[in-house]
């Protein structure tokens, strides 16, 4: 047999290897698994993000934003589709006209629900826009009773009303300060005037004299003319219905004029910023909040909020967090982000939130809402008491009652614990 030349031998060897490789069939490449269908669900949030109370607006927005971020991390599915929630934040500038404009903007953006607005003066007119469009809205801070007395479908709030808050702060002021003559001032907004009306009504029911009403506005920072008039009448206490941006200058200028009356405020001025705005004049003021204080909110929420925003909540962030979660929970139960489908679930909510159990009455108000009384002490707003219905509970006792019971000792350690108790 003739010998093959080296080049021909190499070609033959390669051909043989090729035949061997071809004889082993490779499995066909598997197609990538299709991504699950997804859908974006928009939720609106509205509050003042510019102006004197922008700090409160941002606090509210942060609460809703945290709820949205947590829902996205949970990868919720509706109708078989993975949902990406998107927060659409708008600035209503604490102006009713701007409020209705941004409300329509959110409706046009096809939001599935709205958290907000912050102020009663913007929330009330905006609620008509949302209700007409069939978009549910939940306010975490608007307290004027008119909001839910309008009878609009799909309008809710997760805080108490001013006809609960007004009697709470007025009653506490009457019991603790025992004034004989009180001056009442408001900022002429739906919130400030409405709350002042409730305070005045309660004081008069308790046979306390009330001076004729004095009025400013929600931009007023020079109160000297009004305060000079009040100084001559020597009230024992002054109540102001308005926000901290105007309430701080009011109490500061009062002290500068030598007015020694006790000053009391509603929730809009029940913030640590009063110290910044009024200095030492803020010490000892009384104020109320239409709900539990932020410090009493669920610890998981407080830890998550601090981690996300590097600050503690100021006032109503726990309530806007709950409001956003209520919308999302109702969607989950209805398996739909269609407002017409999930609204019935929202109406019958029974939800354990950061601010406690939330259920709505037929008007859309939160059932059994608590009120909190605070004082300014050492530059910080500190809770004094929780008022629920006709019962007033010291804040320390409220926290103690709300704390979970300690876990029982393991069985093996029980005899040791009993023995230690005897010693």
**Structural domain boundaries of the chain?**
38-159+296-367, 163-289+372-402
Q: What is the model's pLDDT at position 11? A: 41
Task: Please tell me if the domain spanning 38-159+296-367 has the same topology as the one spanning 163-289+372-402.
Answer: yes
| Helices 190-205 and 162-177, axial angle in degrees (round to 10) | 50
Per the CB < 8 A criterion, the answer to whether 121 and 191 are in contact is yes
Q: pLDDT 10s digit of each residue in the chain, 423 long?
A: 444 444 444 444 444 444 344 444 556 666 555 556 689 999 999 999 999 999 999 999 999 999 999 999 999 999 999 999 999 999 999 999 999 999 999 999 999 999 999 999 999 999 999 999 999 999 999 999 999 999 999 999 999 999 999 999 999 999 999 999 999 999 999 999 999 999 999 999 999 999 999 999 999 999 999 999 999 999 999 999 999 999 999 999 999 999 999 999 999 999 999 999 999 999 999 999 999 999 999 999 999 999 999 999 999 999 999 999 999 999 999 999 999 999 999 999 999 999 999 999 999 999 999 999 999 999 999 999 999 988 999 999 998 887 765 555 554 444 444 444 444
| Helices 54-73 and 299-309, axial angle in degrees (round to 10) | 110
Q: What is the model's pLDDT at position 402? A: 75
Which CATH superfamily includes the segment(s) 38-159+296-367?
A: Response regulator (3.40.50.2300)
State whether residue 108 is helix, strand or coil. Answer: helix
Give every CB contact of residue 192 below 8 A, 6+ residues apart in sequence. 186, 218, 240, 241, 242, 243, 266, 268
- The span from the first CA to the last CA of the chain, in angstroms, equals 108
Q: Which of 249, 250, 246 is nearest to 230 (CA)?
A: 250
Architecture of domain 163-289+372-402: 3-Layer(aba) Sandwich (3.40)
Q: Which of 236, 189, 230, 231 is nearest to 213 (CA)?
A: 230
Q: What is the model's pLDDT at position 2? A: 43
Q: What is the model's pLDDT at position 390? A: 83
∠ at Cα 44 (41, 46), nearest 5°? 170
Which H or E run includes 83? strand 81-91
Within a 10 A sphere around the Cβ of 394, how many other Cβ atoms?
12
Is the peptide bond preceding residue 117 cis, with omega within 30 degrees of 0? yes
> Whole-angstrom Cα distance, residue 311 to residue 61?
14
Give every CB contact of residue 186 below 8 A, 6+ residues apart in sequence. 192, 193, 195, 196, 213, 214, 215, 216, 240, 241, 242
Give every CB contact of residue 180 below 8 A, 6+ residues apart in sequence. 208, 209, 236
Give every CB contact of residue 77 below 8 A, 6+ residues apart in sequence. 36, 83
Q: Which residue has the tokens 């409706």?
A: 107
Tokens of 317: 């962030």
Secondary-structure percent of the chain, ordered helix, strand, coil, rounded to 5:
45, 20, 35
From the number of C-beta atoms within 10 Å of its C-beta (0-12, 13-18, 19+), residue 101 rates as middle
Per the CB < 8 A criterion, the answer to whether 189 and 122 are in contact is no
């Amino acid at each position: 047999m003739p010998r093959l030349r080296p080049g021909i031998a190499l070609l033959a060897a390669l051909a043989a290897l090729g035949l061997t490789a071809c004889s082993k069939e490779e499995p066909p490449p598997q197609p990538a698994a299709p991504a699950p269908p997804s859908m974006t669900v928009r939720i609106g949030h509205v509050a003042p993000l510019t102006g004197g109370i922008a700090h409160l607006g941002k606090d509210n927005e942060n609460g809703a934003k945290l709820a949205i971020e947590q829902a996205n991390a949970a990868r919720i599915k509706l109708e078989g589709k993975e949902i990406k929630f998107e927060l659409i934040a708008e600035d209503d500038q604490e102006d009713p006209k701007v409020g209705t404009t941004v409300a329509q903007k959110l409706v046009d953006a096809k939001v599935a629900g709205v958290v907000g607005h912050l102020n009663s003066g913007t929330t009330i007119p905006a609620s008509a826009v949302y209700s007409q469009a069939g978009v549910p809205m939940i306010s975490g801070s608007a307290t004027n009773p008119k909001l839910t007395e309008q009878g609009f479908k799909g309008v809710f709030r997760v805080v108490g009303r001013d006809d609960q808050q007004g009697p709470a702060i007025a009653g506490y002021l009457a019991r603790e300060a025992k004034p004989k003559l009180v001056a009442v001032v408001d900022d002429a907004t739906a919130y400030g005037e409405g709350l002042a009306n409730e305070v005045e009504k309660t004081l008069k029911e308790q046979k306390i004299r009330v001076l004729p009403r004095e009025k400013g506005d929600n931009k007023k920072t020079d109160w000297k003319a009004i305060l000079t008039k009040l100084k001559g009448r020597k009230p024992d206490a002054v109540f102001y219905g308005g926000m901290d941006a105007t309430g701080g200058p009011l109490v500061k200028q009062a002290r500068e004029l030598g007015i020694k009356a006790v000053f009391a405020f509603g929730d809009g001025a029940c913030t640590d910023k009063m110290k910044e705005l009024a200095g030492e004049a803020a010490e000892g003021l009384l104020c109320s909040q239409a709900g539990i204080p932020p410090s009493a909110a669920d610890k998981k929420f407080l830890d998550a909020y601090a981690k996300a925003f590097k600050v503690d909540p100021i006032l109503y962030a726990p309530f806007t967090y709950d409001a956003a979660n209520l919308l999302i929970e109702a969607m989950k139960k209805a398996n739909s982000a269609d407002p017409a489908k999930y609204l019935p679930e929202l109406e019958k909510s029974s939800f354990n939130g950061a601010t406690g159990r939330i259920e709505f009455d037929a008007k859309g108000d939160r059932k059994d809402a608590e009120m909190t009384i605070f004082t300014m002490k050492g530059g910080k707003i500190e809770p004094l008491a929780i008022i629920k219905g006709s019962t007033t509970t010291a804040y320390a006792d409220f926290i103690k009652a709300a704390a979970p019971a300690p876990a029982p000792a393991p069985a093996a350690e029980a005899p040791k614990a009993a023995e230690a108790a005897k010693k």
